[in-house]
């Protein structure tokens, strides 16, 4: 690609193989993209997985983007589950709130 462009690649530039075949270095198969975008494209391929919802048991595509949010929340100390939809996630959230409410009620009852 550098020969084709007649210059060195910039540090933030990556060469992407359009068809995914890294041995195919024809100029029609190469494209210059920003490093971060290149990482995002490959992260989707390598990190998208099929998972089972912990609420309803349905299999679904758990994307790399959703995984990053999940693990960021876990690091922040939030309770999270792997769920297929907002509905299942909301259901889990309601159950957590109900359990917290029950615990608070039991403590208040024990004190009185």
Torsion angle (degrees, nearest 10) of CA 95, 101, 102, 107: 150
Query: What is the rounded average pLDDT of the residues 86-109?
Result: 67
Question: Do 20 and 74 belong together in one domain?
Answer: no
Question: Do 9 and 38 belong together in one domain?
Answer: yes
Question: Do 29 and 81 belong together in one domain?
Answer: no
User: Residue 84 CB: number of other CB atoms within 10 A?
Assistant: 19
Q: Are the beta carbons of 38 and 16 closer than 8 angstroms?
A: yes
Quote the domain boundaries for residue 65.
48-111
Does residue 72 or residue 96 have the better pLDDT? 72
Confidence of residue 91 (pLDDT cuts 50, 70, 90): confident
Query: What is the rounded average pLDDT of the residues 14-32?
Result: 91
For the chain, the domain total comes to 2
User: For residue 108, is pLDDT > 70?
Assistant: no
97 φ, ψ (degrees, to nearest 5): -65, -40
Confidence of residue 97 (pLDDT cuts 50, 70, 90): low
Question: Do 29 and 78 belong together in one domain?
Answer: no
Question: Do 93 and 107 belong together in one domain?
Answer: yes
Q: Are the beta carbons of 80 and 74 closer than 8 angstroms?
A: yes
Question: Do 27 and 71 belong together in one domain?
Answer: no
pLDDT number for residue 44: 65
pLDDT number for residue 24: 92
């Amino acid at each position: 690609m550098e020969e084709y462009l007649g210059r060195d690649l910039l540090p933030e530039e990556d060469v992407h193989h359009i068809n995914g075949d890294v041995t195919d270095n024809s100029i029609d198969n190469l494209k210059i993209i920003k490093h971060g975008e290149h990482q995002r494209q490959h992260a989707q391929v390598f990190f998208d997985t099929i998972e089972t919802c912990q609420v309803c048991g349905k299999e679904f595509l758990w994307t790399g983007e959703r995984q990053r949010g999940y693990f960021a929340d876990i690091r922040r100390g939030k309770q999270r589950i792997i769920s297929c939809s907002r509905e299942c996630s909301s259901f889990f959230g309601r159950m957590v709130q109900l359990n917290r409410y029950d615990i608070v009620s039991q403590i208040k009852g024990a004190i009185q």
